[in-house]
Amino acid sequence: MTGTVLVARLDNAGDVLLAGPAIRAVAAGAREVVLLTGPHGGAAAQLLPGVDQVLQWRAPWIDPDPLPLKRPHVDRLVSLVEKTAPELALIFTSFHQSSLPLALLLRLAGVPRIAAISEDYPGSLLDVRHIVDETVDVPEAVRMLDLARAAGFELPSGDDGALAVRRPLPSVHQFTGPPGYVVVHPGTSAPARAWPADLHAKTVRDLVFAGARVVVTGDPDEQALTAQVAGAYGSDLGGVTTFPELAAVLAGAAVVVVANTGPAHLAAAVGTPVISLFAPVVPSERWAPYRVPVVLLGDQEAPCRGSRARVCPVPGHPCLSSVTSEQVVDTVLDLMSRRFEARSRAKAGGANTNGGGPGHAASSSGVKEGAR
């Protein structure tokens, strides 16, 4: 049993949630797990099973609006890490991020052993250098779990490796009413991943006309957007819920309509099917909602594919603007119908249909079956 292990994932809430299976593996073999994350990932970190303490630090080489790196900022990180005195650190990164800047600072903080994925030669910065073939797209959760295994940690018996959050979640009946509604989350952390607001609004209206209850969610700085999308038809929860309450709202939904952004992974962590409006600026094989039923909409062969752009580089944003509200509505209603039929069969036959099995991956040009 290892003593204190520092685990780092320095970007956004969705990235932190995807680290959950790897963190549970570490927790199974450590007395204490300290999670170091950025300012946008702290709320998600607090929800992860296996995390004993959360530290926040803004990494200038990862933050989308980076501040200059100055000595006081470095000293703050060194002080935070020194106080926890970890025996080992695992640095989780995406395929396009370097682990070495943080490894250098953790060495300055006295961390004796550090494990990370690094294509670049790390010299004395890493004790466990895990090398992966980055030409092969694998889910981010699997990539991080592979690093945990390379560092000597395995998921405990009975843990299926799906995303998860701490339970119980708070009651949100006062916001949503009974479960079974549709959640529409129109906001994104990058404009290149956003579906147009007017199409979101039309989708909400048409779903309500089709008999569905619709809840629109968003962050405090997205309240103008959620008000526009909810209109006179949906329940507008923009800026209303805490992060644990948002998790509970998503857990009560029959299906969630969302782009490639944090709440898509939060929906996966509570086991709710996702209709993913997915811009191919990053590979869906890595970033689609993990281990839940998912329908992928959007042109995955669009010219922006693999660009990692935050602002769409193609006039007209064709990868997502080509998706119609009618497609989304039809997909929502079809998925809800199939879930209802599956549950009815399960009740009749005593079978268990819960859990993260094969999902349904689709593009705007067709549907295919696949496991995430």
- 269, 272, 276, 282: CA torsion to nearest 10: 20
Q: For residue 318, say if its preceding peptide bond is cis, omega within 30 degrees of 0.
A: no
At 128, is the secondary structure helix, strand, or coil? strand
Instruction: Give the closest residue to 41 by CA, choosing from 18, 10, 75, 8.
Output: 10
What was the pLDDT predicted at 159?
A: 97
- 163, exposed or middle or buried, with CB in 10 Å at 0-12, 13-18, 19+? buried
State the Cα–Cα distance between residues 164 and 173, nearest whole angstrom. Answer: 21
Please give the Cα distance from 330 to 203 (Å, whole number): 10
Mind listing the pLDDT tens digit of every residue in the chain (372 residues)? 899 999 999 999 999 999 999 999 999 999 999 999 999 999 999 999 999 999 999 999 999 889 899 999 999 999 999 999 999 999 999 988 999 999 999 999 999 999 999 999 999 999 999 999 989 999 999 999 999 999 999 999 999 999 999 999 999 999 999 999 999 999 998 999 999 999 999 999 999 999 999 999 999 999 999 999 999 999 999 999 999 999 999 999 999 999 999 999 999 999 999 999 999 999 999 999 999 999 999 999 999 999 999 998 899 999 999 999 999 999 999 999 887 787 788 888 864 444 433 333 444 333 333 333
- CA 324 to CA 338: how far, in whole Å? 21
Question: C-alpha angle 290/293/295, rounded to 5°?
Answer: 95
* Dist. CA 35–CA 54, nearest whole Å: 5
What is the reported pLDDT for 354?
Answer: 43
Please count the CA atoms within 13 angstroms of the CA of 240 that sit on its side-chain side.
16
Instruction: Kindly tell me the burial class for residue 11, based on how many C-beta atoms sit within 10 Å of its own C-beta (0-12, 13-18, 19 or more).
Output: buried
The residues, any chain, with a CB within 8 Å of residue 350's CB and separated by 6 or more, are: none
Q: Is 37 helix (H, G, I), strand (E, B) or coil?
A: strand
How far from each other are the two terminal CA atoms of the chain, in whole angstroms? 31
Token representation of residue 152:
């000597």
DSSP string of 250-263? HHTEEEEEEESSHH
Which residues are 216's β-sheet partners?
184, 236
226 contacts 237 by C-beta, under 8 angstroms: yes
- The pLDDT score that the predictor gives to residue 342 is 78
At 345 the pLDDT is 84
Task: Give the torsion sign (CA, 244, 245, 250, 251).
Answer: positive
pLDDT at res. 361: 42
Query: CB neighbours of 174 closer than 8 A, spacing ≥ 6?
Result: none
Q: Which amino acid is at 349?
A: G
CB 239 within 8 A of CB 222: yes
In 3-state terms the chain splits into helix, strand, coil percentages (rounded to 5) of 35, 20, 45
Helix then strand count (H, E) for the chain reads 14, 14
What is 286-353 written as a DSSP string?
HHSPPSS-EEEES-TTSTTTT---SS--STT-HHHHTS-HHHHHHHHHHHHHHHHHHHHHHHHHT---
d(CA 279, CA 300) in angstroms, rounded, equals 7
pLDDT digits (tens, 9 = 90+) for 331-354: 999 999 887 787 788 888 864 444
